[in-house]
Amino acid sequence: MSRIVVDRQRCASTGGCEAVAPDVFEIADDGELVVHRPEPDEGDLPDVREAVRTCPTLALTLVDGPRPG
């Protein structure tokens, strides 16, 4: 299982991830990035990987394993 990690210091809410994977990422009304599915389905993974790769602020990473704790 993979998990999306957002570096909030880096994220500038550009919406690049939302453009690639709108079901997983959304910029909320307050401008903060919301990750709807932090542990994305197998079917989401190609788009999520593309979003991670193309994030203009390098704020996204995809790590192995479920949320710690």
Partner 1 sequence: MTVGLAAPDGAGIDLDGIDLSDREFWLQPPAVRHAVFDALRRERPFAFYAEPELPWLEAGRGYYAVTRYADVDAISSRPAVFCSGSGAVSIIDMPPDINEFFGSMISMDDPRHAKIRRIVAKTFTPRMLERLVDSVQQIADDVADGARRKAEAGDGTIDVVADLAAPIPLRVVCDMMGIPDEDRAMVLQKSTIILSGGDPELVESLEDFAAAMLEAGGALSDLMNRLAAERLADPRDDLTTALVRSEVGGEQLTHQEIASFFILLLVAGNETTRNAISQGVLALSEHPEQRDRWAADPELTRTAVEEIVRWTSPIGWMRRTATQDGEVNGHRFAAGDKFLLFYGAANRDPEVFREPQVLDLARDPNPQIGFGAHGPHFCLGAHLARREIAVTFRTIFDRLPDLTVSGEPSRLRSSFVNGLKRLPARLGER
Please give the residue ranges that form the binding site for partner 1 (CB under 8 A): 10, 12-16, 18-19, 22, 26-32, 56-58
Of residues 10 and 37, the one with the C-beta less far from partner 1: 10
Cβ contact 44:23 at 8 Å: yes
**8 A C-beta contact, residue 13 and residue 33:** yes
**In the complex, what is the shortest distance from the CB of residue 16 to partner 1, in angstroms, rounded to a whole number?**
8
**Nearest CB to partner 1, comparing residues 12 and 67:** 12
Least Å distance, CB 22 to partner 1, is: 6
Going by C-alpha positions, the residue among 2, 41, 36, 5 that lies closest to residue 18 is: 36
